[in-house]
Structure 1
Amino acid sequence: MRCILVGIEAAPEFVETPALEYAISLAADCGASLSLYVFAPPPSAPWPMTTGSASAWLENETERLEQQTAATTRAASKLVSQAGVDLVAEHANALFEPRDARFVQLARVHDVVIFDAAAAADSSGRRVIEDMLFDSGRPVVLIPRFAGNVSPRRIAIAWDGSARAARAVKDALPFLIAADLVVAVTITGEKDLSRMAPGADLASYLARHGIRNCKLATLAGAGGDVAARLRLFVAEEDVEMIVMGAFVHSRFREAVLGGVTRSMLDDTPVPLFLSH
C-alpha cells in the first residue's frame, strides 16, 4: 500500500478517532502517504421557516463549518506530522454540497479507505460507508473502538466462494501476506453453498502468493445468524481482522446492504476489511 485515505468528522473539540489513529499507524508501518478528509459537521439548528431568519442561519452555519473543519484539519495534521507521515489534507467547505461526493472521488485514487465503524450508527455515516463500498471501487477498513494491531497476525476470511468474497481477498492481499495465520471461514445455514469455489482452491491461490499458513474452517450458523457465529469465531480464535465481501440487494434502484454485511457493520469486534 502506497496511499491511504482516512475520513473524520469536524467537531467543536478535536478528539483522535480510532480510524485516524489506525490510519496514521498503518501509513507509518507501510511507509505510505496519508490523505485526510474532514467532513462538515451536522447543522447546529434546523433550517428556519422565515426569510430573515434563514439569512442569519446561513451566515452562522457557514462560519461554524469553516471554523470547525479548519480547526479539526489543523489538529489532525499535527498528529500526522508528529508520526513522520506524509500528509495531504482537505476539508469540506460548503454547506450544501453532497456530503460524501468529494470523499468518494478521493477514494478512487487511493489504495484503501479507513473509516470509523461507529459511523454506521447514524444514517448519514452509514450512507457514506455504503457509497464508499459501491461507488469508489476501493476497499474500506472499518475500525472499531479498540482497533488493535495495524499488522494483524491472525486474519479470518468470511469465505462463501462468491465474486464479492474473491474481490475482498484480492484487495486484502497486503494484509494477508503479512499475517502469521489466515483462516478461511465458511458458515453454513444461510445460503446454498453447493456451487461455491471450495476453500481448498482458495488456500491454493493464497499459497501462490506466499501465504503458506492457511487453514479452513466450516461452521454451522447459530440459528442462521452468520454474523453472530463469525463474531464468536473471532473471539474464540483471537482473530485480529475480518476480510469479507460486501453483499448488496438492489431494491427500488437503491443499494441496500445484505443482512450479514449490515450486522457486521453494526457490531464488528475487530477491523473489518470490506470490498465489493
Structure 2
Amino acid sequence: MAFKSLLTVLTSLSDADPALRQIIALAGAQDAHVEALCLGVDRSQTGYYYAGANAMILQETLTRANAEAAEVLAHASDILGKSGARWSADDGVAQLADIGRHVAHRARFSDLVVLPRPYGDNHGTEAEPIIEAALFEGHAPVLIVPDQGEPVAAPRNIMVAWNQSVEAMRAIRRALPFLAAAELVRIVVIDPPSHGPERSDPGGLLAQMLARHGVTCEIDVLSKTMNRVSDALNRHAVDTSADMVVMGAYGHSRFREAILGGATRNMLEQARLPVFMAH
C-alpha cells in the first residue's frame, strides 16, 4: 500500500515552504494527490474585551484572518502549480480553539499528513494543536518536516524508535510503505527492561515481522547515556545518517507531556530530519 492522499495544513508563509517541498517530493515518489488546506487563524479571545468592543474586534480579526488565508493559498497554489503534481487547495478561517475540528475532518480522509515542525522561531501557536488534531481526532499518521534540509522523497535509511509500546507499533505499521522500500531499517532500543518480554532478544520479534515484509533490518541496542531519550535518538540518527525517524506519539497522557516534556515533544523540538508519527 502506498500513500495516495497527502494533506498539508498551512497557516503562515513563514513555515509553509518546507512542508510544500516535502509533500511535492512524496507525491512524485508515491504517485499521490496533494491537498493543501490554507487556514487563516482567528486568535482573538473576545471574552476578555470590554463591552461593545467585541463586534469591532471580531470584524478586524476576521478580515485579517481572511487576508492571511488568501495569501497562503496564493503561495501554495503557485508552488503546487509549478510542481507537476496532482493537487488541490482550499482556504478558510478557523478560530484557534476550534482549529482541530477542521484539521481532523480533512486528516480522516488522508493517508498521510505532512506538517511543518511545531516549535522554533516564526512558528505559530496553532502548529501543535494541528498536529494533535491530525493524530488523535483524524487518526492519520503525520510526517513532521524540519525547517532546513532537502525533502526526502524515498527514505533509504530509516531509524525506528522501539519501546514495545502500542503507539510505536502503530507508527511502524502505518510506515510500512516507507519501511518496505528502504535499503535499511535500524530498530533502535534504548535501555530495554531486564524483566520484559523481549529481555533476551530486544527488537527481535519486530525485526522478524518486518523481514517477512521484505524489510532489511538491523537492531541497535543503546544505553541511555544522555539525560533524555530524545537526545540519544537524535544523536544516533545523525551518527547513522538516517533519512527519517519513525516513532510512536505521546506514550504518556498529553497533559503529562505538556507539563514534563516527554520524548515526543523533545524529539520535535530538536529534530533535523523528518519524523513519522502515529498514535
- 2:6 pairs with one of 4, 7, 12: 4
- How many angstroms does 1:198 deviate by? 4.0
Q: How many aligned residue pairs are there?
A: 269
Alignment-derived partner of residue 168 in structure 1: 171
Alignment-derived partner of residue 71 in structure 1: 71
- How many angstroms does 1:223 deviate by? 4.2
Does the CA contact (< 8 Å) of 2:10 and 2:16 recur in 1?
Answer: no
Is 192-201 or 144-153 further displaced after alignment?
192-201
Alignment-derived partner of residue 157 in structure 2: 154
Does the CA contact (< 8 Å) of 2:42 and 2:62 recur in 1?
Answer: no
Is 56-65 or 87-96 further displaced after alignment?
87-96
- How many angstroms does 1:268 deviate by? 1.0
Is 227-236 or 94-103 further displaced after alignment?
94-103
Alignment-derived partner of residue 33 in structure 1: 33
- How many angstroms does 1:224 deviate by? 4.9
- How many angstroms does 1:52 deviate by? 4.2
Distance 1:192 1:249 in 2: 21
Is 92-101 or 265-274 further displaced after alignment?
92-101
Instruction: Report SS of the residue matched to 1:248.
Output: coil
- 1:135 pairs with one of 134, 137, 148: 137
Closer, same or farther: CA 105–170 of 1 in aligned 2, 3 Å: same
Structure 2 unaligned runs (5+)?
A: none
TM-score (norm 2): 0.86
1:194-233 CA-to-partner distances (Å, cap 9, x unmatched) read: 224841221221121111x211110001145211111111
Counterpart code for 1:18: P
Alignment-derived partner of residue 17 in structure 1: 17
- How many angstroms does 1:33 deviate by? 0.3
Distance 2:86 2:265 in 1: 34
Distance 1:71 1:54 in 2: 25
Structure 1 unaligned runs (5+)?
A: none
Counterpart code for 1:269: R
Does the CA contact (< 8 Å) of 1:154 and 1:180 recur in 2?
Answer: yes
Counterpart code for 1:184: I
Does the CA contact (< 8 Å) of 1:188 and 1:219 recur in 2?
Answer: yes
Counterpart code for 1:220: S
Instruction: Report SS of the residue matched to 2:98.
Output: coil
Alignment-derived partner of residue 146 in structure 2: 144
Q: Identity of aligned pairs, percent?
A: 29
Distance 2:125 2:60 in 1: 25
Does the CA contact (< 8 Å) of 1:66 and 1:93 recur in 2?
Answer: yes
Does the CA contact (< 8 Å) of 1:69 and 1:91 recur in 2?
Answer: yes
Closer, same or farther: CA 245–62 of 1 in aligned 2, 3 Å: same
> Quick check: 1:208 aligned with 2:212?
yes
1:62-113 CA-to-partner distances (Å, cap 9, x unmatched) read: 2222222022112201211211112222222354771121111111111011
- How many angstroms does 1:49 deviate by? 3.0
Instruction: Report SS of the residue matched to 1:100.
Output: helix
1:225-245 CA-to-partner distances (Å, cap 9, x unmatched) read: 211111111111111100011
Counterpart code for 1:237: T
Closer, same or farther: CA 153–175 of 1 in aligned 2, 3 Å: same
Alignment-derived partner of residue 92 in structure 1: 92
Distance 1:178 1:229 in 2: 26
Pairwise CA RMSD: 2.5
Alignment-derived partner of residue 108 in structure 2: 108
Does the CA contact (< 8 Å) of 1:65 and 1:95 recur in 2?
Answer: no
Counterpart code for 1:247: Y
- How many angstroms does 1:263 deviate by? 1.0
Closer, same or farther: CA 38–113 of 1 in aligned 2, 3 Å: same
Distance 1:113 1:103 in 2: 10
Counterpart code for 1:167: R
Is 85-94 or 138-147 further displaced after alignment?
85-94
Counterpart code for 1:127: P
